[in-house]
Structure 1
Amino acid sequence: MTPNTKAPVRRKRMSRAERESQMLEVAEEVFAEQGYRATSMEEIAERCGVSKPMLYEHFGSKDGLLLAILAILARARAELHHVTSEAMALGRDPLDVLYRGLVAYYSFTRDHSRSFALLMHEPMALPDATIEAIEDVRRQQHGLIAPVLASQAPHLDPVQVEAYTEIIIGACERISLWCTRRPEITPEEATRYTLDLCWSGLSGTINPENDISGS
């Protein structure tokens, strides 16, 4: 070898687990960018630097690839429930409980923005198992929010509590998606915007003495 000749750079050989992790990370990114329906296995393989047959060898199909991502999201869902419920447990009153819970929720969806965008952008194009995973997250959040409303306003009909809770959940999803397009919005700001509308709108029904402006 002459003095000016450089030795060839050897690429580190990935283990199967490392390769799968890379594929899942790239696939999540592409799904979030383009949507599930428009994404091709060819593009994912190209971005990963592997052949399409290798991608199929690891995951079987595009649905199989998405289901593998969902397995990761299932663990993230458990983490979301833990983080949100722990934050809400520190609340001093119903408004503070919701505030802490929403900050935890928006912090989580910001940190997992690609996964969240993937699930929310085109749910009707996703496999049934994926749609069920989305509903699991909603049921989980419902179980945290509804008791707060019910305890603060025991006179409310259960159907009212259910309806108000679903309204809050829907608002949170839309704000989370909006924050993916406005990354400068902090979880605290997103929470304030949500409560400005939701809590103020419910204040007459739940407790007229609660005033968000004084929190």
Structure 2
Amino acid sequence: MVGYIDVTQTTGQDATGQEAPAPRRKRMSRADRERQMLAVAEEVFAERGFRAAAMEEIAERCGVSKPMLYEYFGSKDGLLLACLTRARAELHEVTAAAMAEGTDPLDTLHRGLVAYYGFTESHRNSFAILQNEAIGLPHAAVEAVEATRRQQHGLIAPIMAQWAPELPEIAIEAYTEIIIGACERISLWCTTRPDVTPEQAAHYTLDFCWLGLQGLYDRAATDG
């Protein structure tokens, strides 16, 4: 059963030749159980779509009862929100860590983009569900997706401001939003193009966005 860690498959015999009792199976901790439920739920949501996904199937794949699933998350909406909350935290962790290694604004943005596309690639099916079913998602889930965008904005905008400090704040804000929107569309496009690597996706994004921004930067420097 998925819900337990099997220590052994057979009982074996003791020194007297008598059958020894099987070692007890170790129960999952609550934290491990929750991680398991979220991983399975993400798979089912990706396979079925949020609206068609059934709590019964998620519980069965986890090897737990349906009431236990409700005990942890309250509802299917709550389970989806928990999945999104975990994904947002993981995305922030990987992109922030990658950007911290950057040597200049362009390198920092490139590293962040590769990390972002790598993350969305590893969550390819779930990402496509979020984009394609956005209208049918519960309000809390839509808000969670928007919170993720704000989170990414908070990572990108300071890099933009560092690169072009003479640009007005509203311009930095607008260009950051454009980059975020472009990344979402490229990520969705990549769900239909598995041959495109995260590195290639980052390269295409920078080719388009950075060259355009470079022209704005040059113009601002000239006007200044």
Label 1:115 to 1:91 Cα distance change in 2 as closer, same or farther (>3 A). Answer: farther
- Name which of 145, 153, 164 aligns with 1:153: 164
Change (3 A) 1:81 1:132: farther
* Residue identity matched to 2:69: L
What's the C-alpha RMSD, in Å, of the aligned pairs? 3.0
Retained in 1: the 8 A contact 2:92–2:152? no
Q: CA deviation at 1:97?
A: 2.6
| 1:164 equivalent in alignment to 2:175 | yes
Cα distance change on mapping 1:142 and 1:165 into 2, 3 Å? same
Q: Which deviates more from structure 2 when the two are superposed, residues 165-174 or residues 16-25?
A: 16-25
Which of structures 1 and 2 has the bigger CA Rg? Answer: 2
Match of 1:140 among 117, 132, 151: 151
Cα distance in 1 between the residues matched to 2:72 and 2:164: 52
- So what's the TM-score if we normalise by structure 1? 0.74
Q: Give the distance between the partners of 1:82 and 1:196, measured in 2 at CA.
A: 22
Match of 1:120 in 2: 131
1:103 to 92, 109, 114: 114
Aligned residue type for 1:169: I
Structure 1 counterpart of 2:47, one-letter code:
E
Unaligned segments of structure 1, at least 5 residues? 1-6, 209-215
Q: Is the 8 A contact 1:26 1:44 kept in 2?
A: yes
Partner of 1:129: 140
In terms of fraction of residues, the more helix-rich structure is 1
Given the alignment, which residue of 202, 212, 215 partners 2:213?
Answer: 202
User: What's 1:188 paired with?
Assistant: 199
Tell me what 2:59 maps to: 45
TM-score by length of structure 2 reads 0.72
Residues 152, 82 of structure 1: CA spacing in aligned structure 2 closer, same or farther, 3 A cutoff?
closer
CA distance 1:42–1:143, change in 2 (3 Å): same
Residue type of the alignment partner of 1:98: L
CA contact (8 A) 1:153 1:207 kept: no
Match of 2:103 among 84, 91, 115: 91
Matched to 2:197, the amino acid is T
Superposed, 1:27-46 pairs within 5 Å as 27-46=41-60
| Pair 47,201 (structure 1): closer, same or farther in 2 beyond 3 Å | same
SS of the equivalent of 1:37 reads coil
Q: Report how many aligned residue pairs link the two structures.
A: 198
